[in-house]
Chain A
């Protein structure tokens, strides 16, 4: 369940309260997020939509501990992250957050296997344990047979699936996906969305996704629109596509 009015239960996985984010540009303060509230239950799949510059990515960065709010609090699985030091936030990210980016952001000189292994190098897992984890997640994303391929030897859709494998290999608390289909053709985008759906349905992952693509958003459990720095619950059309589509 996703709520945006601040009435969510204490048991919410993610709880955001009165979140403000102000940027200072050219001597002028720009309020990107204003008094934003959000509650996300475990196993939820939520899509954030909104016009460019509406603050979707800013919200994602704040939820992922990549940026700090001007005011307000973010609590994830009982940890309030807004007052954590930079070092603590880094450790927290390693344990709790899986990131999927629009441009995949794989390391080109590493194979699919090595890319997926990267988060595990920070753990105390043995080489054999790491191998088992990596092989498992590459099987989940359907790329077990491509583990020794370099990113340049993979299609865009396959690269994004490797990026998703990297995001889930350390079994994070939730996934943050920033336009995961933004650079893909329709077919590859559908495959990636099917994979995200499967992660939620079969593996009980919590996924928060920013997208401009109404078809991608339609596959989420809930759609939230970011308008003038505030979240508004969206509605799906009878065909699954969000009413009004992407702005």
Chain B
């Protein structure tokens, strides 16, 4: 630590330059963290997917419905433990911009199939008793300042259109930070009562839980074979495969995010590397003096890299702190368009690792130059 003061003193040699470099580091790391959060949010579906859950959709597309009568047939397939079904409601609250996912759910097995989404028993019982009852995710409830007992009107242009009224009887929480807390659940019975005759008895998709995840592939095959050559053929896949296919639709966005992240990384590397190169060039004579009085070549290299590393750690920390504070606000302002925007510890670690890597790399080239510096030549240049 006796050299710490030396490194520290050198940092403040040019205060404006130090501030600008720290600023560029902070902004870059903030952007880096934010991009990681967005990318992660796109991938989150695959991460939260249960290994023992299968999704059954209409083979034509997820927009096409499948008969409710399939439920009993699927239940009879060996290895199926629980089955539930959902429909996409697709409404908005008060204004078009207030989007959040609303699902029509079958209360019977909902909690068995999705045990990670916790609803207190009393609230669940209230939901079962009230056909107009609804349960909101904690994030959505907080977003619209809803509390239990509120009457929630949801406008929809589907299912006969109009404004549907719901009683908020419960709020669910996810067990894990990455669990989606933006959904809004409606009663299947109430939905059936109000939809046009043409879509009665039709579900959007089935979600089923299997006894043994190792049997998932076999069960999926059995289900699809069961409904082969019917008017509504099915496509069954594991929840993670389904989520992965969903993410594939955003492949270009993800590529864009990774590209921007890479550009940010290299720009930061060039900015910091250039700053360090200028800083070393300005101090050629001083570094020569260090060598003349007995400091080794390796010390000079360490000295330059340490300086660059300190800048990286301070700037990087500032950026990541900024990201920790800003991500929840950004998530809120996006209004649940991307659920589960979380800056996870692994992302923070990755951010720090990136900062350290940039710090070392940007100090390495000027440091090697300083290391190779010959005292005689350096003193002659002064």
Contacts and interface: CB of A to CB of B under 8 A. Distances in A.
Do A and B originate from a single complex? yes
Interface of A: 61, 64, 66-67, 86-87, 90-91, 93-95, 99, 101, 103, 105, 107-110, 114, 118-119, 121-122, 127, 166
17 contacts: A87-B297, A93-B293, A93-B294, A94-B293, A94-B294, A95-B294, A99-B292, A101-B289, A103-B285, A105-B289, A107-B286, A107-B289, A108-B13, A119-B293, A121-B2, A122-B294, A122-B295
Contacts of A108: 13
Contacts of A95: 294
Interface string B232-246: 000000000000000
Contacts of A67: 376
B298 to A, nearest CB: 9
Contact of B375 (A66, A118, A166): A66
Contacts of B382: 103, 105
Contacts of A64: 292
Most-contacted residue by chain A among B10, B289, B297, B382 (CB, 10 A): B289
Nearest to A68: B376
Contacts of A109: 9-10, 12-13
Given A66-B375, A103-B382, A118 B9 contact: no
Interface string B308-330: 00000000000000000000000
A87 B3 CA distance: 20
Given A91-B294, A99-B293, A114 B12 contact: no
Interface in B181-236: none
Interface in B274-293: 285-286, 288-293
A98 to B, nearest CB: 8
A110 B379 contact: no
Given A99-B292, A122-B295, A105 B3 contact: no
B287 to A, nearest CB: 10
Most-contacted residue by chain B among A61, A91, A94, A122 (CB, 10 A): A122
Interface of B: 2-3, 5-6, 9-10, 12-13, 285-286, 288-297, 375-376, 379, 382
B9 A114 contact: yes
A93 B5 CA distance: 24
Contacts of A90: 291, 294-297
A107 B288 CA distance: 11
Contact of B9 (A86, A93, A94, A110): A110
A119 B294 contact: yes
Contact of B296 (A87, A103, A118): A87
Contacts of A122: 294-295
B293 A66 contact: no
A61 B288 CA distance: 13
B6 A110 contact: yes
Contacts of A93: 292-294
Nearest to B3: A121
Contacts of A107: 9, 286, 289
A145 to B, nearest CB: 22
B310 to A, nearest CB: 14
Given A66-B292, A94-B295, A110-B9, 16 more contacts: A66-B375, A66-B376, A67-B376, A90-B294, A90-B295, A91-B296, A93-B293, A94-B294, A103-B382, A105-B288, A105-B382, A109-B10, A118-B290, A119-B293, A121-B6, A127-B2
B1 to A, nearest CB: 10
Contacts of B6: 110, 114, 118, 121
A130 to B, nearest CB: 8
A99 B375 CA distance: 12
A101 B376 CA distance: 12
Nearest to A87: B296
A66 B288 CA distance: 10
